[in-house]
Chain A
Amino acid sequence: MNLKTMLGAATAIALALPAYAEGTLNLYTWSDSIAPELIEKFEAQTGTTINTDGFQSNEDALTKLQAGSSGYDIVTPSQHFVKIVIDEGLLEDIGAKDLAAYAQVDDKWKGQWWDPENAYSIPLAYGTAGFAVNRDVYEGPVDSWEVYFTPPADLKGKVASLSYPDEVVGAAQLYLGVPFCSEDKAEMKKVYDLLMAQKPDVAAYSSDNIENRLGTAEVGAHFWWDGNVLKTRNDGANIVYAEPKEGLVGWLDSFVVPKGAANVEGAKQFIDFMSEEENATIQYNYYAHSSPVKLDLTKAKYTPENAPELFPTVPVEFSKACSPAAQDLVTKVWTDLLR
């Protein structure tokens, strides 16, 4: 008996007690990413009880899935992590292309490299990772990553980064012209040198509480995601999402079902529910990230005019699933940076 089965057995015993699996659905999604209105609606429609748990990084989600028997029925990782969990055999084949939800998905997201057979995943939202500045702190141009990585006088000591390397290293690679997932030590050394030179001007490496830190001008520039900037700007913060000419880091989150999930049917039902035009529109208006499924455009709140964050005009480069060798270099950059 290996560790995974042991952990699995332990969790199964723990879960068996309250397991009216039919009636409950356990979601593990990006924190606050699903519209509460839709959760209530689904519960009312189906009599299912939904439990939600949030994660703040793909790494957290991956770790939970690898530990085995997470107890979740639905998880929403990004494309490069979907690829990893499929390859590692951690997902349930839900026959995604036969789901009603699949018909709603925009063609450009079908048959992609992370799930070429469309067997495991239905996309939920997509967008970009870049940086935003607070206009009370910094008034200059934001058309290049140069502003972020080699901050001008107004931003010295007032830049904030994320606590995980994933997208930050990607952005540094875009700026330097180094390919994503490079296995070339000399190239990755350049990434390290850039981040190390930026470090004296970085106030914090933290993925929590970003809206407060940037909104209250505690820092002047923050690594962030498109829709979060949009929401915080709409709440009255004087911030703007940069459109660096070197490009933005792209992501697409999908619904997937962990292997051995207790309520696979309920999970499929929920995925179909979320992809219905009316519900997808409610979700879009709540989450403020772009939707890969059909929307009711008469009710969709965000347009290129009122939400430029969601409609970037610069190139978008999607994160890839790195080889172990490439990932070790990313880790080395990060550990040496924060040593």
Chain B
Amino acid sequence: MRGARIWGLVPAWVLMLATLMVPLLIVAAVSVAERGSYGGFAWDFNPLSYREILFSEDWDGNLVFDPKYLAIIGRTLLLAGATTLICMALALPVAYVIATRPPKTKALLIYLVTLPFWVSMIVRVYAWLIILGSEGFVGRFWHWIGGEGTLLFTPGAMLVGMVYSYIPLMVLPVFAAIEKLDPALLEAGADLYGSRWTTARRVILPLTWPGLAAGAVLVFVPALGTVLEPMLLGGGKQMMMGTLIQTQFGGARNWPFGAAVALVLMAMVVIVLVINARRSIRKEARA
């Protein structure tokens, strides 16, 4: 019986190894390979790429500590963090409203939340180019109230695009958590003279926290690697980790360094996932 169970899992393990572990090992190997003169690489062991993240040559040819890549990493963390927080703040009321509708309306509303996924990401980001552009209605409104210049190519435009792209990933788990809420608990809160605000803060929020945490991971992780929104809506004026990695494989012709940055990004994602997993284990242990 036990043997059959283990053998039954073999296809899953093979799939994991072939599609997840092997490519990851290749990236790790490339990150310490010798860079090719015009891109590409040659097998070798050269950990210079990792030094390059912290130290680079200045214009006089001296090797100095240069925080430029750290700044890019920090900026990426900040953008992904801000996106996650805004998504949380917006998704909670939306999910609450949806969860408290009658079943038919509820099904329709959930369907509407997932609708954007039917359209390509690029098309959806381009739509924001038009909406925020000087000919778009938001752009026109901005000029009508006396705003100057263009709304595009600003950190704000980038953030709007990011929140828009990722918010369905937050709404769905939060909705699932709220749906499981026992209405009796809300009534109990009200019976105990809790104001609506107190009920929201002391009852709804703690009980939906697992949903929010799950949503936070779903939003934060892809937001770390984002390329489209910073390039199209942010105007590409400041690099993010995604664009930095892309540049290394393209124009910079430095594949090992690109692979090294990709691994740093990967490590950050793993840290987030581990923290999250430990929290939920502790939660379950207490429950």
Asked whether A185 lies within 8 Å of B61 as measured between CB atoms, the reply is: yes
CA distance A210 to B123 in the complex (A): 16
Is the beta-carbon distance between B236 and A163 smaller than 8 angstroms? yes
Please give the distance in Å from B234's CB to the nearest CB on chain A: 8
CA gap between A124 and B158 in the complex, in Å = 38
User: Secondary structure of the A side of the interface?
Assistant: helix
CB distance from B229 to the nearest CB of A (A): 12
Interface size on A, residues (CB 8 A): 44
Interface residues of B in 84-103 (CB under 8 A from A): none
Give chain B residues whose Cβ lies under 8 Å from the Cβ of A331. Answer: 247, 251-254
A88 touches B153 (CB 8 A): no
A218 within 8 A of B: yes
List of A residues within 8 angstroms of B133 by Cβ: 212, 216, 218
A185-B60, A217-B134, A334-B247 known; A339 and B253 CB under 8 Å?
no
B250 and A205 contacting across the interface, CB-CB below 8 Å: no
Expressed in whole angstroms, the Cα–Cα distance for A192 and B39 within the complex equals 23
Most interface-central of B39, B68, B149, B231 (chain A CB within 10 A): B39
Please indicate which of the listed interface residues A189, A202, A204, A330 has the most CB atoms of chain B within 10 Å of its own CB: A204
Instruction: Report the minimum CB–CB distance from A130 to chain B (whole Å).
Output: 20
Q: Does A45 contact B (CB under 8 A)?
A: no
* A217 vs B139: C-alpha distance when bound (angstroms): 13
Q: Assuming the A-B contacts A203-B153, A218-B133, A218-B134, are A66 and B40 also in contact, with contact meaning beta carbons closer than 8 angstroms in the complex?
A: yes
Give B224 Cβ to nearest chain A Cβ, in Å: 18
**Contacts of A290-339 to chain B: CB distance below 8 A:** 324, 327, 330-332, 334-336, 338-339
Q: Is A17 an interface residue (CB 8 A)?
A: no
In the assembled complex, B43 has its CB within 8 A of some CB on chain A: yes
Query: Chain B's interface: helix, strand, loop or mixed, by majority?
Result: loop
Establish whether residues B43 and A165, one from each chain, have CB atoms under 8 Å apart when the complex forms: no
* A143-177 at interface with B (beta carbon < 8 Å): 157, 160, 163-166
Say if the beta carbon of B129 comes within 8 Å of chain A: yes
Assembly CA distance A91 to B209 (angstroms)? 56
- A3-B26, A204-B152 as given contacts; A164 in contact with B38, CB under 8 Å: no
- With contact pairs A59-B250, A63-B249, A336-B68 given, residues A324 and B236 touching in the complex (Cβ less than 8 Å): no
Task: List the B residue with the shortest CB-CB distance to A83.
Answer: B38
Q: How far is the CA of A157 from the CA of B235 in the complex (A)?
A: 12
Q: Which residues of B contact A105 (CB under 8 A)?
A: none
Docked-complex contact B71 and A339, CB < 8 angstroms: yes
Cβ-defined contact, A204 with B134, below 8 A: no
Q: Report chain B residues within 8 Å CB of A324.
A: 37-38, 253
A235 contacts B by Cβ under 8 Å: no
Provide the residues of chain A in CB contact with B26, threshold 8 Å: 3
Report the nearest A residue to B57, measured CB to CB.
A332
Note all chain B residues with C-beta closer than 8 A to A194: none
**Is A285 among interface residues, defined by CB-CB distance under 8 A?**
no
The 0/1 profile, CB within 8 Å of A marked 1, for residues 261-278 of chain B is 000000000000000000
Q: In whole Å, how far is B214's beta carbon from the nearest beta carbon of chain A?
A: 34
Interface string of A43-81 (1 = CB under 8 A from B): 000000000000001011011001000000000000000
- Cβ–Cβ < 8 Å partners of B249 in chain A: 63
Q: Is A88 touching B251 in the complex (CB atoms < 8 A)?
A: no
Q: Whole-angstrom distance from the CB of A323 to the nearest CB of chain B?
A: 8
**Residues of A77-111 whose CB lies within 8 A of B:** 84, 87-88
Partner of A338, one of B57, B239, B253: B239
Asked if A202 and B251 sit within 8 Å, CB to CB, the answer is: no
* Contact present for A216 and B134 (CB under 8 Å): yes
- Binary interface encoding of chain B residues 224-251 relative to chain A, with 1 for a CB under 8 A from any of its CBs, else 0: 0000000110011111000010010111
Per the 8 Å Cβ criterion, residues 121-136 of B in contact with A are 126, 129, 133-135
A209 touches B152 (CB 8 A): no
Chain A residues with CB under 8 Å of B72's CB are: 339
A204's partner among B36, B57, B237, B250 (CB-CB below 8 A) is: B237
**Known interface pairs A209-B129, A216-B135. Does A166 touch B237 (Cβ–Cβ under 8 Å)?**
no
Known A331-B251, A335-B244; 19 more pairs at CB < 8 Å:
A60-B250, A62-B250, A88-B40, A163-B231, A189-B59, A202-B235, A206-B235, A209-B129, A212-B129, A216-B133, A218-B150, A324-B38, A331-B253, A332-B57, A334-B252, A336-B68, A338-B236, A338-B239, A339-B238
Listed in ascending order, the chain B residues whose CB lies under 8 Å from chain A are 26, 30, 36-40, 43, 56-57, 59-61, 68, 71-72, 126, 129, 133-135, 149-150, 152-153, 231-232, 235-239, 244, 247, 249-254
A–B Cβ pairs within 8 angstroms, 9 of them: A59-B251, A66-B36, A66-B39, A157-B149, A186-B59, A203-B152, A327-B252, A331-B254, A338-B239
